[in-house]
Chains A and B, each alone.
Chain A
Amino acid sequence: GHGSSKPSVTDSSDDSTTEGSNRSSSLFSRLHIHRHHRRLRLHRGGSGSHSGSHSKLHAAEDFAGIALVKLIGAEMKFKDKWLACISFGEQTFRTAISDHTDKPIWNSEKKLLLERNGPRVARISVFETNILSKNNLVGYCEIDLYEFLTRDSDSDSEMFDLLDPSSPDIIVGKISLSCSVEDPIETEKSFVRRILAIVDYNEDGKLSISEFSDLIDAFGNQLAADKKEELFKAADQNGDGVVSMDELAILLAIQQEKEPLINCCPVCGEILEVSDKLNNMVHLTLCFDEGTGNQVMTGGFLTDKQASYGWMFKLSEWANFSSYDIGLKSGSRSSHIVVFDRRTKRLVEELIDAKIVLSMRAIYQSKIGLGLMDTGVKELLQSISEMQGKKMNSIESAKDIPEFIEFFKDQINLTEIKYPLEHFKTFNEFFIRELKPGARPIACLERDDVAVCAADSRLIAFRNVEDSTRFWIKGRKFSIQGLLGKEICSTAFMDGSLVIFRLAPQDYHRFHFPVSGTIEHFVDIPGCLYTVNPIAVNSKYCNVFTENKRVVSVLSTKDFGKVAFVAVGATMVGSITFTKKKGDYIQKGDEFGYFSFGG
């Protein structure tokens, strides 16, 4: 997200440049001065496609906020397939590739962050594309966005000469682009509508008190959290117990003026400056745009991958492995999944940071989010997992073990681990730690007609598939045949019973045989590495169990007939290793294999 490059807009008018003051002085008297948004004064009603919510700047001190740049098209001197890039500050974005033409049309939009003391000049480059060799830079131009946004023109768009990169005197074409600045109030409202859409779990377009409550928790403001009911009542004008999106957006926009509700970014977790409301909204809007792929233009080259990487890393509870410092115990308040502890017979809360929950909901429970998966994010999840595997297999990773144990100190019992901590030379070695013999007593060991649990996990079990889809697995494409694959699936399995063991980061990661019998065979099924968190499993848009990478083995038993055993990989933890082989006779409770970090 934008967590590492926080915008730094200041409110001091003393910093205005002389040039900027002169340029704006003639227009200054026309400005409508909004007390709370004096940094971004906008001339409303300008021409162009964005009039109303977007417009031009009128003063140097206005040069802050979100600029919407649109690369419309170009006129080149020969036919080819073209793409254009815009570089601004440390960001670079590119358009799609045009048709084979000398007049490419892109109509690609990108929101850019304008900072008063930040970059002003955008460089636009136009490339001819080649399948077999590198793309060729044909022309470029540099545009001072401040000049562009303060020029005295009725039109939002303008043509610029494209210069030959080796001989800047030669004009090789023209490019048409538009640029406008988003009204900060619109930014604020649209942001609130979007974030509220994410917590509107039942998608009825209205927020219940509990949905609203989750949102405030994610904002990390304790004061606001204590006033949730009061805020909710203020928004619920007709007193029907629910609040429409627009009502709440308006309330939050007003509230944000009086007393900021949002103390930390629910996307990247960054603590936001209370005194810098506009800057915060800019930060949040760009963070969300980046995460949801809402913008037409994609980030270019390295920056795109890095941006997506940052976002995707939060799409799994496994993110905690590399972010102890912003994990469960700080930042926004934690959300939770309630689990019933069979041993103590009590309900316990499994804590997951609220921002991770929101991120996961944003991607796994929305069409937009899952749409992202078709644009290379599946491959990204794979490469993140492979990279994490390499990292966790390095000697340096061993230093994370004590920190990890401290983090989960109530949930990892060190006395039952087979070897002392010094034995583990990498984090992955610790992750797949063995337990001392007898640490896990096997129920009714002498009776093969009693099946046992296969993993330290959160279990959910159904007598048939129909129940499993009614109560738990919401992916529309789920089926037993999809899970097991055609090679293994038989009629008897089709209406069989289903038991799901979900492992959490802190768990003992070896899995065991639930029944006694013979291993008939293994079948590798390649696939994605979505998270297996209930947020994804419960999503109608995501088909975790039938699309994730997995290995299906079949056990032949005397008391249970055939039993299919499916080991499903997940984000970060995609490596599946078996310690038994085909043809082995195994006793229930014996170790079968383990999951570890990797792809």
Chain B
Amino acid sequence: STVICVFEKDTIEIDEDLVANSARSLETLVSVGMKLGVSIKKGPETGLPNLEKCVLE
């Protein structure tokens, strides 16, 4: 059996180690409660700028 979580676009920054393994088609053994990722907070809701999307010009 399998659980699949789908997050809306640009809402989660998945932990880099998990993404890096996956990009090598390598599964990562995890347990319930281990950190998965962090919310990408957006300005209007949090009052914080979305730094990920900022570009220096």
Contacts and interface: CB of A to CB of B under 8 A. Distances in A.
A496 interface: yes
A589 B27 contact: no
B3 A455 contact: yes
Given A498-B4, A501-B4, A503-B2, A460 B9 contact: no
A472 B18 CA distance: 14
Nearest to A574: B1
Contact of A340 (B2, B5, B27): B27
Nearest to B31: A456
A560 B12 contact: yes
Given A497-B14, A566-B4, A570-B1, A449 B41 contact: yes
Contacts, number: 206
Interface residues on B, range: 35 or more
Interface in B1-31: 1-9, 11-12, 14, 17-19, 21-31
Contact of B7 (A342, A511, A512, A560): A560
Contact of B6 (A449, A496, A502): A496
Contact of B35 (A444, A483, A562): A444
Nearest to A511: B3
Nearest to B34: A453
A561 B8 contact: yes
Interface in B28-50: 28-39, 41
A532 B3 CA distance: 10
A31 B21 CA distance: 63
Contacts of A443: 33-35
Contacts of A342: 17-18, 28-30, 34
A94 interface: no
A535 to B, nearest CB: 13
B36 A453 contact: yes
Contact of B5 (A444, A454, A510): A454
Contact of A560 (B11, B27, B30): B11
Ordered nearest first, which 6 A-B pairs have the shortest CB separation? A458-B27, A492-B8, A595-B1, A449-B39, A443-B35, A559-B39
18 contacts: A342-B30, A450-B38, A450-B39, A453-B30, A453-B35, A463-B19, A467-B22, A467-B23, A471-B22, A471-B25, A496-B7, A497-B6, A499-B36, A501-B30, A510-B32, A560-B7, A560-B12, A564-B5
Given A341-B28, A467-B23, 19 more contacts: A338-B26, A339-B29, A444-B35, A451-B7, A453-B31, A456-B31, A457-B2, A458-B28, A462-B19, A462-B22, A464-B9, A496-B11, A498-B4, A498-B6, A501-B5, A532-B1, A565-B3, A568-B1, A570-B2
